[in-house]
Structure 1
Amino acid sequence: MPGDFSSGARLEIRITPDDVGKRVSVRQLTEITDGHPTFTDTVGVLVSWDAEVVSVTRRTGETVRIPRAVLVAGKVVPPAPVRRGPGVPAVTAEELERIASRAWPAAETSALGGWTLRASGGFTRRANSVLVGGDPGMPVDRALAEVARWYGDRGLIPYLQVPDSSPLGAALDGRAWIREGDTLVRTAPLAPLTSLPDTGVTLSRTPGPDWLAAYRRTGERADAALAVVSGGPAVWFATTPGGIGRAVVDGPWALFGAVEVAPSRRRRGLATAVMGALARQVYDEGATAGYLQVEADNAVARAFYDRLGFLDHHGYHYRRPAA
């Protein structure tokens, strides 16, 4: 990553194992050609340091393993600036995930130090996973065993929801916990969204039969799904022929989700109308910023939210045991 070390600067390794968990910029020697060295820079969270290898997790979630023998420089750098539009409050990834958890409330929760274990009869990974934040208050292996026991008692797969910047990711790599469900959390100021058209959209405080019929994720867990989608500080449901959506107000923040359009009704502006109707309602209730979760590989959804002004705030992914 150019710019972290100037070409004429003295190369020094100014990081130590005590800096694990901090954001760093490191430089490694990649090759020497005709007496001229070539370097590569990596910026991210220092997740481990041993006698042979230094591991740094980038913002994308990729973990780079750098042999100590080729590490030529390193320093602690400030946290990455969060991209946000006007009217979007400054908030950390952990703080926004706590807000999001209230807007998609699990039927049952239990604290494990700074972690929150959540269960909702298997309806969605988010409502049936551990919200990882801070220290579990015990060694990692013991915490993972406790997680496995808690979810096993409920007949559920033990999932962890892990921020991409968390040092826990590298620890799980070494413990055969499979990574899946890479997700981006995106934010946007609400005021511009209130000018979107909303023709034909009906809003209600509860999900009516048409809304529930259009929501395709309940499966055989209809009761659990209804409890989760209906929960939250101040919930609104949007319904239009062929499209639905949901928003939850929590102070200055509004979560948008469950925006779905029937395949036969796509490219008619229904998703935009749903977002517009919800945005006006939550703005009237005092929210100033919107946020949402979108799977990282969903290019169509990401492009749609790009057009509405949403920017990436942070990423997270899920982990589950390999066996």
Structure 2
Amino acid sequence: MSGLSARDIGHRVVVRHRLPGGQLTDVLGVLQSLDAESLVVRHADSTPYAVRLADISAAKPIPPLPLRPVDVEQLFLTTALGRPAVETSYVGQWLLRASEGWTGRANSLLPAGDPGMPLAEALKHTEAFYDERGLPPLALVRVGTTLDAEFRQQGWVESRPGESDALVLLTSLDLVNGVPAYEVEVNDHPDADWYGTAFEGEVPAPAPAVMEGAPKAVFASIREGGKVVAVGRGSMTGHWLGIDGVRVDPAYRRRGLATAVLQGLARWSGAQGGRRTYLEVLESNAAAVSTYLSLGYAEAYRYRYLTSR
């Protein structure tokens, strides 16, 4: 075997090896362990593949899956499909979302695709949609894009000028689907205990419809002494796993519970055909950003909310 050593444990690798029948095959994933006799590679579906060193013809570390421009466009829309709003409408291909004002994502325009009309006209339709619902006209716009500049030329400005950029981070599923240090329950529906940990205080009225509205969503929780102390939500859109709603009871923080929730959701997703995972975090949340980067996440893009008022 060449190209791999103990320092590659935890990184993505490809291993070409010979099967009992003599044919060669490749296994790709994260190097989980390596000793004098064999190695173990963990695939995106969480399956560990043990390979004898004597059967390996070639092995080397590989970089994470590259993110192409088309992947960014797909991810931009995927984030909306993974957490749908209570009410939606369209201006051409642009997605209008409203959820009684709860969260910016669920109450903003997602300008993905072609609006089917001049920009100024599309923005007038956008303003009318939110005016009818008594909501401020918001647009979730990727920072630094041509569309960002065009919105600003039309008089749209930052709705939250004091807030940092929201980062959309992604990584390969096999980098974050290790075995959690805690037992993670994954259920199709959240219960009162889940909501009690996910929110500090009263649960906003639109929250259940938004959180439970995706076609394929699950709710993770960790219990200590019978009490739910950490939660998170996962949703599948194609091969993408979206993770949000991660929250740890303040009394139980700095124990790796958030990481365990993420790993539990990743392992669930792998069995569903997941290959990549994304999440969103404010750049100002330095502790969370540091944790996610250490797990292998990288920035796909960043966004801000713009408004015409």
Provide the TM-score with structure 1 as the length reference: 0.68
Aligned amino acid, residue 302 of structure 1: V
1:280 to 267, 275, 279: 267
Structure 1 residues 88, 283: closer, same or farther in 2, change over 3 A? farther
Q: Counterparts in 2 of 1:152-301, with a 5 A limit?
A: 152-174=131-153, 175-180=155-160, 182-216=165-199, 221-222=204-205, 224-240=206-222, 241-301=228-288
Provide, for residues 205-256 of structure 1, a one-character-per-residue CA deviation record: whole Å limited to 9, x for no partner: 011111111122785632x210111122321111123211011112211001
In the TM superposition, residue 317 of structure 1 has moved relative to its aligned partner by: 1.3
Q: Per the alignment, in what secondary structure is the counterpart of residue 288 of structure 2? A: helix
Does the 8 Å contact 2:107/2:138 carry over to 1? yes
Structure 2 Cα separation of the partners of residues 185 and 178 of structure 1: 18
Does the 8 Å contact 1:88/1:189 carry over to 2? no
Structure 2 Cα separation of the partners of residues 103 and 142 of structure 1: 28
Q: Per the alignment, in what secondary structure is the counterpart of residue 98 of structure 1? A: helix
Q: Counterparts in 2 of 1:115-134, with a 5 A limit?
A: 115-134=94-113
In the TM superposition, residue 144 of structure 1 has moved relative to its aligned partner by: 2.1
Structure 1 Cα separation of the partners of residues 66 and 215 of structure 2: 19
Equivalent pairs counted in the alignment come to 238
In the TM superposition, residue 194 of structure 1 has moved relative to its aligned partner by: 1.7
Q: Per the alignment, in what secondary structure is the counterpart of residue 176 of structure 2? A: helix
Structure 1 residues 149, 300: closer, same or farther in 2, change over 3 A? same
Structure 1 Cα separation of the partners of residues 139 and 181 of structure 2: 37
Matched, 1:150 2:150: no
Structure 2 Cα separation of the partners of residues 118 and 217 of structure 1: 25
Q: Per the alignment, in what secondary structure is the counterpart of residue 120 of structure 2? A: helix
Q: Counterparts in 2 of 1:74-85, with a 5 A limit?
A: none
RMSD over equivalenced CA pairs, Å:
2.2
Indicate the percent of aligned positions where both proteins have the same amino acid.
36
Q: Per the alignment, in what secondary structure is the counterpart of residue 242 of structure 1? A: strand
Does the 8 Å contact 1:132/1:163 carry over to 2? no
In the TM superposition, residue 105 of structure 1 has moved relative to its aligned partner by: 0.6
Structure 2 Cα separation of the partners of residues 119 and 285 of structure 1: 29
Structure 2 Cα separation of the partners of residues 317 and 247 of structure 1: 23
Structure 1 Cα separation of the partners of residues 126 and 147 of structure 2: 14
Structure 1 Cα separation of the partners of residues 254 and 208 of structure 2: 28
2:73 to 73, 81, 94: 94
Structure 1 residues 169, 88: closer, same or farther in 2, change over 3 A? closer
Matched, 1:139 2:118: yes
Structure 1 residues 85, 274: closer, same or farther in 2, change over 3 A? farther
Provide the TM-score with structure 2 as the length reference: 0.71
Does the 8 Å contact 2:195/2:203 carry over to 1? no
Does the 8 Å contact 1:247/1:278 carry over to 2? yes
In the TM superposition, residue 146 of structure 1 has moved relative to its aligned partner by: 1.8
Structure 2 Cα separation of the partners of residues 124 and 218 of structure 1: 16
Structure 1 Cα separation of the partners of residues 127 and 170 of structure 2: 33
Q: Per the alignment, in what secondary structure is the counterpart of residue 113 of structure 2? A: coil
Structure 1 residues 137, 186: closer, same or farther in 2, change over 3 A? same
What is residue 75 of structure 1 aligned with on the other side?
A: none
Structure 1 unmatched ranges of 5 or more: 1-83
Q: Per the alignment, in what secondary structure is the counterpart of residue 85 of structure 2? A: coil
Provide, for residues 277-318 of structure 1, a one-character-per-residue CA deviation record: whole Å limited to 9, x for no partner: 111111111101111111122211110101110011111211
Provide, for residues 165-194 of structure 1, a one-character-per-residue CA deviation record: whole Å limited to 9, x for no partner: 432322333415225352111111111322
What is residue 58 of structure 1 aligned with on the other side?
A: none
Structure 2 Cα separation of the partners of residues 98 and 193 of structure 1: 23
Structure 1 residues 204, 96: closer, same or farther in 2, change over 3 A? same
In the TM superposition, residue 130 of structure 1 has moved relative to its aligned partner by: 0.4
Does the 8 Å contact 1:252/1:288 carry over to 2? yes
